[in-house]
Amino acid sequence: MAKGKSRSYTHRATVPPLYQSAVFDFARVEELAAQIKSGPAFPPSVDDLTYIYSRGGNPTQRKLELDLAALEGADDGLVFASGMAAITAIALSFCEAGCEIAVGYPVYGDTYAVFADLLPRFGVNTTFVDTSDISEVRRALARSPRMLFCETPANPSLAVTDLKAAARACKRCDCLLVVDNTFATPVNQNPLALGADLVVHSLTKFIGGHSDLVGGAVMGAKELITRLRLTQFITGAILDPFAAWLVLRSLKTLELRVQRQNENALALAKLLEKYAKVARVYYPGLASSPYHRIAKKQMRGFGGIVSFELKGGLRKAKRFVNRLKGARIAVSLGSTETLIQIPALITHRIVPEGVQESLGIPRDLVRVAVGIEPTAELLAHFRQALKEL
């Protein structure tokens, strides 16, 4: 037993403790040497006393990993310094020179950069595919890719992938299905239950929910997570204990916040559909959405993101965003306040302008991440901004 350490993790505290410690001591050098010899410590529970160094495990991080795994119905979980760190670790763990991977489009701009720019430098060939079209998925899988990665709903078009159909197709060709579930959250959708192998989250977004932390997570089968743990231990892309503690705080209100954001987003999407100045609304909760049927089948709620195009193009989009009161112009999403931006100019700017449109990112698309404000207040601000156009 490590010197001075209790076997009780929480001591019956209603709030989990924060272990803001980089190292953990041992009673004898032989104990530490034996543990080091056995490899990095990856304790299966928060009560294990095999922690050595927080790059390889920390009780606060571990508590969060187990809670997130429970939310997604996974065997195990792993938390990272950011969502991009999580995605990069997946690529490093399961891809190698000469292998093929398929990536659904659109995806977050920096995710696109990992697969389109970074991995090809190391001999990994990426094919981008519209995963909302299962026939395109099957054609992409005919190339025997190592992995199929997709977001659903996708950023920023809210395109929805039929996960059961994609999972069946992947299983037939021994292809790993990785799903970024950030937009949906575990409240609205559980990809593992639909057949995915790994589920990814940017904890910065809905799960963190307060614009005060950056983090990422991956959940899945224990053997897959163990492989990721070794990559994380070597590369060091860990979530610090305090950020993990903040996410644990946020989990207590996750369902309440997401339910309110679902309600606000649907109300906003229905409002925007009524205006002649709005050319198109992207939201899977609308009956008019081409993705409504499959979204209704595999999701319990449609999420807190609404995208739309205004008549008049990019000039009108900029004017609207700049004049809208009650929303902050900022990147990110999923927080208690409403955020708005133009993806082609901001979050997806790294995608070449000539490629954006082909990947489902119109130059004048406006993306709104609704908060938890009173619905009437939110809608009033949008009505006013539309009136002033």
Q: Is 180 a catalytic residue?
A: yes
- DSSP classification of residue 199: E
The Cα–Cα gap between 387 and 389 comes to 6
Q: Catalytic: which of 19, 51, 105, 108?
A: 108
Collect all residues with Cβ–Cβ distance below 8 Å to 297 and sequence separation of at least 6: none
In the chain, where does DSSP find H-type helix? Answer: 29-37, 59-72, 83-94, 109-113, 134-141, 163-172, 185-188, 222-235, 241-251, 254-273, 292-298, 313-323, 353-356, 375-388
Exactly one of 51, 130, 162, 205 is catalytic; name it: 205
Whether 257 is catalytic is no
CA 117 to CA 54: how far, in whole Å?
Answer: 31
Single out the catalytic residue among 110, 180, 240, 364.
180
Task: Decide: 35 and 41 in contact? Cβ < 8 Å.
Answer: yes
Q: Is residue 108 flagged as an active site residue? A: yes
The conformational region for residue 39 under phi > 0 = left, psi -120 to 50 = alpha, else beta, is left
| Contact call for residues 312 and 385 (beta carbons, < 8 A) | no
Cα distance from N-terminal residue to C-terminal residue, the chain: 68
Q: What's the CA gap between 157 and 283, in Å, rounded?
A: 8
Closest CA to 203 of 236, 164, 245: 245
Torsions phi, psi for 315 (to 5 deg): -60, -45
**Known catalytic residue at 205:** yes
Select which of 5, 48, 55, 227 is catalytic.
Answer: 55
Catalytic residues: 55, 108, 180, 205
